[in-house]
A and B are shown apart, each in its own frame.
Chain A
Amino acid sequence: MTSFFDVLLGGVFHASVLFLVAAGLQLVFGVQRIVNLACGSFYALGAYFGITAVNWSTAHGAPAWSFLPVLVLSGVLLGAIGPVIERLLRTVYKRDEAFQLLLTFALVLMFQDVLRFFWGATPQQLGNLSMSYGKLAIGEVSFPTYNVLVMAASIAIAVSLGLFLQRTRYGRILRATAENREMAEALGADVRGIYASVFTLGTVLGTVGGALVVPTAAASLDMPVELVVEAFAVVVIGGLGSMRGAVAGALVVGLTRALAISFYAELEVLAIYVIVIAVLIARPAGLFGKPVE
């Protein structure tokens, strides 16, 4: 039973990490219809910048416990790059999807060089800071408290996004724009402003996600590609553009991976993509996606 809980917690933690990457991807596609490959780059940028912010605050006398709010704040501040990137993407909104993919992939490559320029090729990390919040232990099951906080943050972000999109006036305008851009525009919605806001929110989700997860991992130049591949498995399973789908997809991928690793490690990748293929055949729009008519 102890082993089961260890594996379960590992799976849910990985699902939380994946959700943080996939949430921004889903939001941007849902409203703007852009498959933003650079969401992984925002995640990596958040991780690197978060390390710098924490090191800076620590050097200026901030107590060890304050690293969590510093990371969140650094991620939010980085969201300032969102409007700049969105301005660039405007040039391909009405073009073929291939142009959008090429442009966002170019951004992935450019960000990799930006990361290397500022932080070098050596992976960066935050030492053992994540353990400063201690461990939660129940019997033989022990799990870092910080990891539990990351899972809680993912749940909080998922719930907040859901409430924002469903219960607020601006959320309804966003959904209306996602449904029919021309109609929303005709009814007076500031679509250009909405796109900038949505893309910035998507960017913040990525940068905060990267900043939150980096104490448990490390920041490396390969992060963007590594994560975006798994994030795509999440969105295919959950349904492109669906926030509920992001939650469900992340849980399916995270738990499947954890169980595969535990029972037969060789199946780690295969198990996930068997599910991806099954979903593509049985329900091409994903578990929560809307079928294309």
Chain B
Amino acid sequence: MNTQRRKILQGIGATGAVLAAQPYLSFPAIAQNKPLRIGIISPKAGVAGTIGECGLRGTMFAVDRINAAGGIAGRKVELIVEEETNPKDSIERLRKLVLQDKVDCVQGIVSSGVSLAMGAVAEEMKALLIFWDGTTQDGVKETMPNPRYVFRSTDNECEAVMGSLLAIKHWKGQFATIAGINPDYSYGRNNFAAFQALLKKFGVEHKVVADQWPKVGTLDLTSHVAALKAAKPDLVFSSLLFADLPVFMKTAHGAGLMDGKTKFVFPAAGFQHTLLKKEFTPEGMLFGHNTLYFNLDNPTPLQKAFVQEYEAKYKDYPHWEADRAYFAMQVYKAGVETAYKAKNAWPGTEDVINAMEGLKVDSLGGPGQMRKDHIAEQTFYQGMTTHKNRYDFATISDVTKMYSDQLQKPAGADFWKWIETAQIKL
């Protein structure tokens, strides 16, 4: 794979309004002279290429606004972007960013496979690393038991927990047989298992009549849909994502799987929402948009500005990876500035880490927090598909908003035991 290095210098196309950072314009001149270097590692190609692209746009939006407002604690931000590919090569790029480019912080990563391998290396190198995404349950306890330098995103299973809760809330008593079609890796496996565990917890009698595990990137799902159709489930739970989901939708629609009364739960639909066209995406399906739903009735001024700029600049509508990237940058900014204020001098990495623990920030999708155990808390959105909008794709109505403290295990807990014992409200 080609590795390209891009330097996106300070002040590129800064169009955002100058916000709360105005006071920092008065930081000492010495600090302002040297840019703060932040390394970004995100996918450019492959199934996750579009995810990395959206995340990077979220980062650039944040950096444009930060630089327009005077930088982080008076220092402008300079990004050095590297490509996320396989774990081995991505780790090499982390080493290069830390040792050669001498970045102050590294952010990014979408794949769980890469994050699990990279977390341990960052700890060893004592390099501050903030993940955008890519943190399923499996392996995290082993590779990052008590991280000091690594800050993780919310559990990847949050969206499945929320989708399960909403499915139970809306459709309990209306389904007895369920089927799953989920991507064949820990994320898909955990999501379907979490759905079944929550059905059990809430006393929903059910029978699994089909479970399909296409590998990521499967572009012909005709046989999978035929198998689902043959099983005649009352409800289909699917964490398919990337291009696989629109292909599934089209195939299922063409095969008549969506003609009956079968209910559908798609916790990760928001990742490729613009590809889910109205013609083959019926109304009344449960869709998850994770931590950013671009079409809220009453968005915050920040989200409104971001979505407008994104639409104008890229002729597209953002999904949650932009929010994850923005959140990572804001947490780092708040950490540096908090530590700077406390120390009244430029803080070291340890000071910034201490300051980041427990910090609350406003992200594009809503309020968020970095827990003291270095796991993020963020705001999640899900709802029922509707065609009543100005777009050619399905959006959601009856939007439910939940904070992730209701969706992910508390510090130190085991995910599966937490599902069994937690006091979860429907």
Contact = CB atoms under 8 A, between A and B. Distances in A.
A6 B229 contact: yes
B250 to A, nearest CB: 7
B242 A261 contact: no
Contacts of A269: 215
Interface stretch (B18-26, B45-53, B298-306): B45-53
A9 B254 CA distance: 13
B399 interface: no
Secondary structure type dominating chain A contacts = helix
B254 A109 contact: no
Interface stretch (B107-115, B275-283, B323-331, B357-365): B275-283
A96 interface: no
B243 A123 contact: yes
A121 B279 contact: no
Given A123-B246, A135-B254, A221 B45 contact: yes
B101 interface: no
Interface size class of B (residues with CB under 8 A): 35 or more
Interface stretch (A51-59, A142-150, A171-179, A242-250): A142-150
Interface size class of A (residues with CB under 8 A): 35 or more
Interface stretch (B168-176, B216-224, B337-345, B412-420): B216-224
Nearest to A222: B217
Interface stretch (A112-120, A184-192, A196-204): A112-120
B247 A217 contact: yes
Interface string B207-245: 000111111011110111111011000000000001100
A293 interface: no
A220 interface: yes
Residue in B1, B222, B229, B253 with the greatest tally of chain A CB atoms within 10 Å = B222
B250 A3 contact: no
A265 B219 contact: no
B63 to A, nearest CB: 20
8 contacts: A9-B222, A14-B223, A113-B2, A121-B50, A123-B275, A127-B279, A144-B254, A268-B214
Interface of A: 2-3, 6-7, 9-11, 13-14, 17, 109, 112-113, 116, 120-123, 125, 127-128, 130-131, 135, 137, 142-144, 147, 213, 216-218, 220-223, 226-227, 257-258, 261-262, 265-266, 268-269
Interface of B: 1-2, 44-47, 49-50, 52-53, 210-215, 217-220, 222-227, 229-230, 242-243, 246-247, 250-251, 253-256, 272, 275, 277, 279-280, 316, 392
